[in-house]
Structures are given as C-alpha cells and as structure tokens.
C-alpha cells in the first residue's frame, strides 16, 4: 500500500479524479490511499491567510512559510515519514523513471503551490524535492500532483488488470510506443497494416520496434 498525502489549497479539485477509472479502483482495492489536506487549515492567521506579496515587488502572491511548516510538522507528528515533493515549474522534470522510483515508496507528500510560487524559506528550511511535470506554467500544482499520483498508481502491482501492460508502453524502455490498431480491419478507407494481421510474430516485433524508433527520433530530442 502506498499512501500519498497531498497538501493543497483546493482539495475539492481532486474529487472526480480520485474516484475515476484505475485510480478509483486502486483506492477501493486498498492499493493506494490518497489523503488530502487543506493548507488553509494550517494557517495561524485568524482569516486563514496563506499567501502574501513578494518582498522587492513583483506580480502576484507567494505561499507563506508558516502554514507549510505547520502542516509538515503536523503530518510528521501523525507518523509521516517519506519523500517530500514540492510541485513547481522550476523543478526537475518528472518522467517515467521517476514514476517507477516513486512507485517503490511507502509514503509520499506532494505540496501544491498556487499564485506566483513559494517563499524560498520553504525549500531552504525543509527538505523538498522540487518537481515539474513539464516546461509550461500551470495556475496551480494540483494538475501536476494528479499527473504524478496517476503515473505512480498505475505502476503499482495489481493496479492494472493486465500485469504486462505497463511493460510494453511508451517510455518503459526510453522509446515511444508504436501505433496500435483494433477492429475493424478497414475503416473509412484506412486499413490495418498487413504485417499486424499476418500472424508472423517476429515480423510484428520488428515492425513495432521500427515504428517506435521512428516516432522517438521524430518527436523527441536525442539525449
């Protein structure tokens, strides 16, 4: 069982996501537990304020250190011990290898930012891994946290019906997945490639490998 604590200003943003599909089933089956915590509940301010203007000027608001420190201290006093991930576009990029690594953990904490970001003392004064889900800016860390929860959950043993399905997909070997087809064999003038219906498994494997290579080199920068 993997337990993921999520610190967010918008716990309600997770409700549909947590109930649906693979993730909903994984929660029902006790493969994963996602615990949502509202950062506002840890504010010491009487108006539950969690953000303020940046010193030195500039647009927007920053998450203050106090509620984050208090939240983490509360979680630790309730048994939390594990990797702490702070979601920010300035972090290291999340990828399949990182997802695999996280799927081996027992506890994770994900901190979602909002507004212009975090007071830097949050990363100076506490151990966080700063993680981004891609080179674009979201209006909050919630969709990024959802991407991580989803990518990690589907790698947990028994989360997917077919235990082989995560092995043969995009990124599992650093390459993008080949194109796939199902019935019908002819659809609006487009047909399934002959090799896939010919029954020659060595040829099929070769075709798939070549398609994977072609996709990867045309869609990704080479390392």
Shortest Å, Cβ 67 to ligand ADE: 17
Shortest Å, Cβ 42 to ligand ADE: 20
Shortest Å, Cβ 50 to ligand ADE: 16
Shorter beta-carbon distance to ligand ADE: residue 65 or 140: 140
Shorter beta-carbon distance to ligand ADE: residue 51 or 212: 51
Closest CA relative to residue 87, chosen from 147, 39, 43, 38 = 147
Order across the sheet with 62-63: list the strands: 51-52, 62-63, 117-118
Shorter beta-carbon distance to ligand ADE: residue 12 or 203: 12
Q: Which residues bind ligand ADE (CB under 6 A)?
A: 87-89, 113, 132-134, 136-138, 141, 144
Shortest Å, Cβ 187 to ligand ADE: 37
Residues whose CB falls within 8 Å of the CB of residue 6, separated by 6 or more in sequence, listed in order:
14, 34, 35, 36, 37, 109, 110, 112, 145, 149
| Other Cβ atoms within 10 Å of 130 Cβ, number | 15
Shorter beta-carbon distance to ligand ADE: residue 151 or 212: 151
Bond prior to 74 in cis (omega within 30° of 0): no
């Amino acid at each position: 069982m993997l337990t993921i604590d999520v610190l967010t200003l918008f716990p309600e943003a997770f409700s549909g996501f947590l109930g649906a599909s693979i993730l909903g089933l994984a929660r029902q089956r006790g493969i994963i537990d996602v615990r949502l915590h509202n950062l506002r509940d840890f504010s010491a301010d009487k108006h539950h304020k969690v953000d303020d203007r940046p010193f030195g000027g500039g647009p927007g608001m920053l998450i203050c250190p106090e509620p984050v420190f208090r939240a983490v201290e509360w979680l630790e006093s309730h048994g939390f011990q594990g990797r702490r991930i702070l979601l920010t576009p300035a972090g290291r990029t999340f990828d399949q290898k990182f997802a695999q690594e996280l799927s081996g953990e027992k506890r994770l904490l994900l901190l979602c930012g909002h507004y212009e970001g975090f007071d830097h003392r949050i990363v100076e004064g506490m151990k966080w891994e700063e993680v981004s889900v891609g080179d674009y800016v979201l209006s909050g860390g919630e969709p990024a946290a959802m991407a991580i929860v989803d990518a990690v959950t589907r790698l947990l043993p028994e989360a997917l019906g077919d235990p082989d399905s995560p092995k043969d997909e995009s990124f599992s070997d650093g390459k993008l997945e080949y194109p796939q087809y199902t019935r019908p064999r002819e659809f609006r003038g487009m047909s399934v490639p002959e090799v896939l219906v010919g029954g020659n498994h060595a040829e099929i494997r070769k075709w798939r490998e070549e398609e994977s290579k072609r996709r990867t080199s045309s869609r990704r920068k080479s390392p």
